[in-house]
Amino acid sequence: MKISIVVSVYNEEAVLERFWTELSEVLDSADFASEVIFINDGSSDCSREILRALATSCRQVRIVNLSRNFGHEAAMAAGLDHAGGDAVICMDADLQHPPELLPAMVECFRGGTEIVTMARRDNADTGWLQRLQSRLFYMVLNLISPQNFTVNASDFFLVSARVRKVLMTEYRERTRFLRGLIQSVGFNRVSLEFVAPSRAAGSSKYSFFRLLSLSVSAMAVTSKLPLRASLLLGGFFGVLSMGVGIYSLVMKFLLGHVISGYTTIVVLMSFIFSVQFIVLGVIGEYLGFLFDEIKGRPVYIVESVIEGEAGRGEDQP
């Protein structure tokens, strides 16, 4: 049995060597064969040179250099496309996905499980506000989506070769939420909890706005409820306006009272216009995702591949 380990790398020069030391120790003592595929997602530091040195000294290492930074989701897709093992494990290089958990994941696979998701029980680098944001994200996601997603699931997971093939051939959309996609394809699945340690070095590559963008993408690709909610809001305010109109006519023609309330009208109109713009914004997001799909551009572009072989590690286009 062979396990492909996909590691996405973006400006991780400060931690790569330590990561490889810990990962190789686990793989050396493991009872399964393995290959390690590093996806260099357009790093601008010395990560590329460090990875080249690893490929030169280790036969089981392969480096896939992308032509620019395409993002974490695209990097994982590239790793899945280049993997050839009986199962694939995706993980990050910052050591917040502990390599020592790999044997437990493989053991689940041996027991017949085709998808193993790893859910963070705790994260040493997150404060109470970030934990609250994560809980709210998964609460909203599970509320609007027909799927029931594992809370705090991470981009640390295992999929079988059969699931990998499904993801490669059937799930090629440009807007991706891979940790959600693997939970929506079916098959046998288990979730293991783990404690994410502090980053060994460096800082998170996800700013608040990138996390917000990922959250919007996740909700858009997993549910159409925001569009339906826009329709419901339109219907609600339509009924409300009819009710106000009927009330005004009754007060004027049957009771002879002219309704005053300039402030009320202005506030109501401002609120309704705000809702309209929100609805247009939601529709615009979905149209933007649809536009990206119609263009049919690649999820990623490979610049070169370095095949690991003792004494040789040359770029191959």
Q: What is the DSSP string of 206-271?
A: --HHHHHHHHHHHHHHH--HHHHHHHHHHHHHHHHHHHHHHHHHIIIIIS--PPP-HHHHHHHHHH
293 vs 34: which has the higher pLDDT: 34
Q: For residue 125, what pLDDT band results from cuts at 50, 70 and 90?
A: low
What spatial distance separates the first Cα and last Cα of the chain, rounded to whole Å? 29
Helix or strand or coil: residue 178? helix
Handedness of CA 223, 227, 229, 232 (dihedral sign): negative
d(CA 314, CA 308): 9
Does residue 283 carry a pLDDT above 60? yes
Q: For residue 310, what pLDDT band results from cuts at 50, 70 and 90?
A: very low
Residue 60 is encoded by which pair of tokens? Answer: 């089981």
AA identity, residue 126: T
**Whole-number pLDDT of residue 86:** 92
| Superfamily for domain range 2-205+297-316 | Spore Coat Polysaccharide Biosynthesis Protein SpsA; Chain A (3.90.550.10)
Residue 120 is encoded by which pair of tokens? Answer: 């963070």
Q: For residue 311, what pLDDT band results from cuts at 50, 70 and 90?
A: very low
296 sits in the region (left: phi over 0; alpha: psi -120 to 50; else beta) called left
Is residue 100 within 8 A of residue 23, CB to CB? The reply is: no
DSSP at 113:
-
* Average pLDDT, integer, range 159-184: 82
d(CA 38, CA 100): 18
Is residue 268 within 8 A of residue 148, CB to CB? The reply is: no
Residue 235 is encoded by which pair of tokens? Answer: 């219907």
* Average pLDDT, integer, range 307-317: 52
> Which of these ranges, 30-44, 102-116, 151-165, 206-220, has the smallest mean pLDDT?
206-220
Residue 113 is encoded by which pair of tokens? Answer: 């499980």
d(CA 123, CA 135): 13
Backbone angles phi, psi at 271, to 5 degrees: -65, -45
* Average pLDDT, integer, range 96-120: 90
* Helix/strand number for the chain, H first, E second: 10, 9
161 vs 266: which has the higher pLDDT: 161
**Whole-number pLDDT of residue 314:** 44
Structural domain spans, the chain: 2-205+297-316, 225-295
Q: For residue 122, what pLDDT band results from cuts at 50, 70 and 90?
A: low
The overall average pLDDT reported for the chain is 78
**Whole-number pLDDT of residue 313:** 40
